[in-house]
Amino acid sequence: MSEEMKLGKLKFNTTSNIAILLLISVLAIVHLESILQPLVVAILLFFLIRPPAEWLEKKIGGHPFMAYGALVGIIMGFLFVVSNVLFSNLQSFTEEVPYLSEELRKKLTWFDDNGTIFGFSFDTAEVTGLITVEKIETFATNLVGSLASFTASLVTVLIFLLFIILEAETLPKRIKAAYPADVERITALAASSSQGINVYVVTRASVAFGQAVLAALILYSYGIPGWFLWACITFMMDFIPYVGALISLLFPIVLGLIILSTSSALFLIILLIANQQLWGGIIEPQIAGKRLDISPIVLLLLVAFWGWAWGVLGMVLGVPLAVIMKLTLESDPRTKPIAMMLSMNPKSD
């Protein structure tokens, strides 16, 4: 029976080494963003496309680059079409901002004159300071702008991906030659990381896509300005756990309250919330089978950290990175207790 790790027996040298390593890692993440961010995206993209690329390679034969190139080409073509439609929709929404601002002013003026809730009246001046159409436009523009900045680094991502594909062919042999005692653990870690990322991304993408399609149909049927823009934002924000999907509902609901009657706006709110709950609360558990075995508070803290370091893209990448971090900590007996502390349902040996 292996000796259990006790918190009181954790050596000071080990603790100080971990603290120094964390400090160096944080400094590198913040100051080397332009290099590390494309590298991380390339690694995650490699893990994601490797299973279908291997299947395609068996079907068509030839060099592995043919399969990887075909998949990357499909992804790039899809992103190109979506980005063009997205920017066009953003421009159309921007053109409607003056009209929407005027409609918001009329609604607030009417509420000042006639509006009460359960007999209580409210000062709409505070609402005007919190929510304006210009702020909604700024949010959408910044989010689309972050996508544009990532697109600008896409060439770097593809270069990293090219070298990762090349390294994948020879790296296992080099690891086996250099670290024969650890080759099984490293191979198992790579396989677990690949499987965990694939399960998460495929599940989350399927759920986010289904939710975004239904949201687009709902918003289009109600005539919400920028309906395709908000559907794309719904898809992206759904990758941010717990809070992303709810945030994505806020702005379409505000626009609905501005341009729709009270009853229509109420039905719009019910439909959007029901759509989110259907995919997030019912369909996703059926597809995934089980959720990530990471504590919710730990996951939120990690997502917040990556959001602070790399913005919205960092929040999207936060969960796959958390999966890799937890699997890495679990693979080493010295750091396994830390992985157990991060887990929602830790399994003791």
Which H helix or E strand runs over 123? none
Give yes or no for residue 4 having a pLDDT over 50.
no
pLDDT digits (tens, 9 = 90+) for 38-48: 888 888 888 88
Lookup: tokens for 224: 């919400």
- Do 92 and 225 touch, CB atoms closer than 8 A? yes
Instruction: For CA atoms 187, 192, 197, 202, give the dihedral sign.
Output: positive
3-class SS string, 192-256: HHHHHHHHHHHHHHHHHHHHHHHHHHHHHHCCCCCHHHHHHHHHHHCCCCCCHHHHHHHHHHHHH
pLDDT at 270: 92
pLDDT at 271: 92
Least-confidence region, from 9-23, 155-169, 172-186, 188-202: 9-23
Give yes or no for residue 218 having a pLDDT over 90.
yes
Give yes or no for residue 289 having a pLDDT over 70.
no
* pLDDT confidence band for 6 (50 / 70 / 90): very low
Give yes or no for residue 148 having a pLDDT over 70.
no
pLDDT at 59: 75
Percentage of the chain lying above the pLDDT 70 cut: 80
Name the average pLDDT for the chain. Answer: 76
State the average pLDDT over residues 336-342.
Answer: 78
pTM of the model: 0.73
Among residues 247, 255, 228, the alpha carbon closest in space to that of 101 is found at 255
State the average pLDDT over residues 89-97.
Answer: 82
pLDDT digits (tens, 9 = 90+) for 177-189: 776 776 677 777 7
State the average pLDDT over residues 70-77.
Answer: 81
Top pLDDT among 267 and 176 is at: 267
pLDDT at 217: 93
State the average pLDDT over residues 176-201.
Answer: 73
Top pLDDT among 123 and 61 is at: 61
Give yes or no for residue 95 having a pLDDT over 50.
yes
pLDDT at 321: 82
Non-local (6+) Cβ contacts of 298 within 8 A are: 322, 342
* pLDDT confidence band for 291 (50 / 70 / 90): low
Reported for 10-18, long-range contacts at CB under 8 A and 24+ positions apart, including other chains, are 14/334
Q: Which residues of 141-156 are buried (b: 16+ CB within 10 A; e: fewer)?
A: eebbebbeebeebeeb
Percentage of the chain lying above the pLDDT 90 cut: 5
- Do 39 and 160 touch, CB atoms closer than 8 A? yes
pLDDT at 8: 46
